[in-house]
Structure 1
Amino acid sequence: MTENHGFDTPEQGTSDWGVPLNRNFERLDIAVEVRDQESELDTYDPKSGAKFYAVDTGNAYVGDGSEWSQVPVATHNHQQLAVGDSLRLPVKDSDPDSPAPGDVWFRGDAGEVRVHTTDGTQTLGGSSTSTADSTQVSFDVTEPFEDDNWTATFGDGWDYGLAANADIRDVAGRDGNQLQATVPGGENRGIYTIHNHAARTGQAPTSCYHSFALRFEPGFTDNITDDGKLPGFAGRDGTDEGAGGSPANGTGWSARMGWDDPSDHGPGIAVDWYIYHMDVSGSYGEHDYWGRLLEEDVWHDFEQYIDLGTPGENDGVLRGWIDGKLEYERTDLRFRDSGGNDVQWSWWDLYHGGGNTPSGNITVQFDDLGIVRGGMP
């Protein structure tokens, strides 16, 4: 009947010829996607593994037996798929070994979006478009952390701990080498360094994007006793404002990722933003929890995006993704009072505290940094 879907036409004279035909009809709603106007979606039964492609909008949906869930029509790049500004897909060259129902990924070799359901892995209609097969991300800065030359990507100031507390090594779970950074037990500082966009290009952007992989070394949660700081963004040239207990009074500002005080949340690593913006009360920045607790010894793909917005207005944007899922979004931030001090720095940071120090060494690893100046990829 059809080789693509494995349907069989019974041979002439076959006894019980209705059995394979009935089996074909039972499988038809799963094997063949529905194509219709998106407004008609709810008129179709969301059988587990069924697929719906909206011919008017290009949106794709998969059924789980009770409801339809939207999945993205992808735009391909060499690392991930951009899907608007809020959802991103991992790119794979082969299907995952043990995917869970609901896992979605892009097969870069095949140009297909795939989803794993209770009935197995399905290919979603509408995914193989010309943009999905051809659009590549162009990072302005890339740093694979393969060797000690990573400091050439940074090293524009605030250089601390780059020799004593950082080294390049091969960490399980990633190809090649990675950057390992440590805050020694009893100390606050691990590494500080910056990539100064303004100094290197002559002009700082008003928006910026980071993509990188991050792993927390086993023992991290046992040894942290306070909040901490991780990489992010800053505009602090020519001012002390925006970090270190100097509030953002209209000129200097910063927005670093980090972790919140472990006593404030359940077991795990509470990822947050530590933000010096103009509406923070007090001298220090604001901790804004992403709402997700992470485990040690797991590589996660992180993305960060900032748009400073209009000077003096509460329209600055800050977003954060983990493993392709938008975990944090805020669009009401007032970073500065006038022009200048745009996104001057990509700030590569590992710091413990607060005032408390870790009870033992805390270690993280970074890999595959990409930076886009002036917007999303």
Structure 2
Amino acid sequence: MKPSEPTPDYHSATGVEATRAERCHIVDDPAGGGGKALEVFYPEDEILGINERVYLENAVGYEPRVAHARFELFFPEDWQTWDDGINGGTKLPGWADHRGTEEDPGGAAGGNHNQGASYSMRMGSPCQGGIHDASGGAEVPFLSQVYDATVDPDEHKHGWHHCWTEGGSKGEWTTIDYRITLNTPGVPDGRLEGWVNGVKAWDYDEYLFLEEEFADRGIPYWRRHYHFGGDWGSPVDNDLYERNLSIWVDDNVPEM
């Protein structure tokens, strides 16, 4: 964090709150720099690493309309994805609201949309050089998988795949900043922004996350979702690492 930046509204140095999950542990810094990090383990052919949520009602005291997360990821030199030219990699954390309605709960995941009542924008790291890699040759490409009310579910069953223009490198820590600004209810003016190591990598401001009837809703949670799929699973025993999750909300978000 820069000295001039506001103090985060929430901070977790190691993600210790996620370690009740079976496949994550607090370990020494994999880069050898001292300190601790959250290890996420994907056994070969398995899908799930972690599926946890940081509820903003608990973390910052309410559900904001603007939320900015910063976290660091470390992909080891032997990190592998499927080289299928399409996806082949893992989902990564992101903002989400899967509440839906009382009559139709859920949505915004797994091909179930529930548009205007649920949304999500988990990140992902697809295979290098595939159709979802816009990084210009980075070892670890990034994208946003977005479920909102502007996507055509018949054409894009699993939401938008919006490719970032910057990526990370194996064997070193990569800093991700990820900001959501909710739309005016019923109006497609929601915004999603992403930065990699301080460089803008994604910015789009025509999303429709919530319809007018959900005007009282804010952003409920940060979804810490490490999921190797789709349904393809990890090609080998894979590990990645996370540290220093900070969240700022509303007028307290940092200038980038």
User: TM-score, with normalisation over the residues of structure 1?
Assistant: 0.58
Structure 1 residue 319 corresponds to structure 2 residue 193: yes
Structure 1 residue 142 corresponds to structure 2 residue 142: no
Output one character per residue of 1:60-102: Cα deviation in whole Å (capped at 9) or x when no partner: xxxxxxxxxxxxxxxxxxx12xxxxxxxxxxxxxxxxxxxxxx
Higher relative contact order (CA 8 A, sep 6+): 2
TM superposition shift of 1:279:
1.3
Indicate if the aligned counterparts of 2:120 and 2:148 stay in contact, CA closer than 8 A.
Answer: yes
Structure 1 residue 165 corresponds to structure 2 residue 23: yes
**Partner in structure 1 of residue 55 of structure 2:** 196
TM superposition shift of 1:227:
3.7
**Partner in structure 2 of residue 102 of structure 1:** none
Structure 1 residue 255 corresponds to structure 2 residue 132: no
Decide whether aligned partners of structure 1 residues 206 and 191 sit closer, same or farther in structure 2, where only a CA change above 3 A counts: same
In structure 2, stretches of 5+ residues that fail to align are none
Specify the code of the residue in structure 1 equivalent to 2:91.
K
Structure 1 residue 272 corresponds to structure 2 residue 143: yes
In structure 1, stretches of 5+ residues that fail to align are 1-78, 81-107, 109-134, 155-160
Specify the code of the residue in structure 1 equivalent to 2:96.
A
**Partner in structure 2 of residue 242 of structure 1:** 108
Structure 1 residue 228 corresponds to structure 2 residue 90: yes
1:332-347 alignment to 2 at 5 Å?
Answer: 332-338=206-212, 339-347=215-223
1:1-377 alignment to 2 at 5 Å?
Answer: 79-80=1-2, 135-145=4-14, 150-151=16-17, 162-171=20-29, 172-198=31-57, 203-221=62-80, 226-237=88-99, 239-262=105-128, 263-264=130-131, 265=133, 268-282=139-153, 283-338=157-212, 339-375=215-251, 376-377=253-254
Decide whether aligned partners of structure 1 residues 162 and 286 sit closer, same or farther in structure 2, where only a CA change above 3 A counts: farther
| Distance (whole Å) between structure 1 residues aligned to residue 13 and residue 222 of structure 2 | 16
| Distance (whole Å) between structure 1 residues aligned to residue 7 and residue 113 of structure 2 | 35
TM superposition shift of 1:251:
0.5
Indicate if the aligned counterparts of 1:224 and 1:362 stay in contact, CA closer than 8 A.
Answer: no
| Distance (whole Å) between structure 2 residues aligned to residue 231 and residue 194 of structure 1 | 9
Indicate if the aligned counterparts of 2:80 and 2:235 stay in contact, CA closer than 8 A.
Answer: no
Indicate if the aligned counterparts of 2:81 and 2:127 stay in contact, CA closer than 8 A.
Answer: no
Specify the code of the residue in structure 2 equivalent to 1:175.
G
Identity of aligned residues (%): 23
TM superposition shift of 1:341:
3.9
Q: Secondary structure at the match of 1:356?
A: coil
Decide whether aligned partners of structure 1 residues 300 and 201 sit closer, same or farther in structure 2, where only a CA change above 3 A counts: closer
Q: How many residues are aligned here?
A: 235
Decide whether aligned partners of structure 1 residues 174 and 233 sit closer, same or farther in structure 2, where only a CA change above 3 A counts: farther
Decide whether aligned partners of structure 1 residues 337 and 212 sit closer, same or farther in structure 2, where only a CA change above 3 A counts: same
Choose 1 or 2 for highest CA Rg: 1
Decide whether aligned partners of structure 1 residues 222 and 240 sit closer, same or farther in structure 2, where only a CA change above 3 A counts: closer
Indicate if the aligned counterparts of 1:223 and 1:362 stay in contact, CA closer than 8 A.
Answer: no
The CA RMSD measured in Å over matched residues stands at 2.2
TM superposition shift of 1:212:
1.3
Q: Secondary structure at the match of 2:64?
A: coil
Indicate if the aligned counterparts of 2:38 and 2:242 stay in contact, CA closer than 8 A.
Answer: yes
Output one character per residue of 1:196-221: Cα deviation in whole Å (capped at 9) or x when no partner: 11355663111101111111122223
**Partner in structure 2 of residue 99 of structure 1:** none
Q: Secondary structure at the match of 2:145?
A: strand
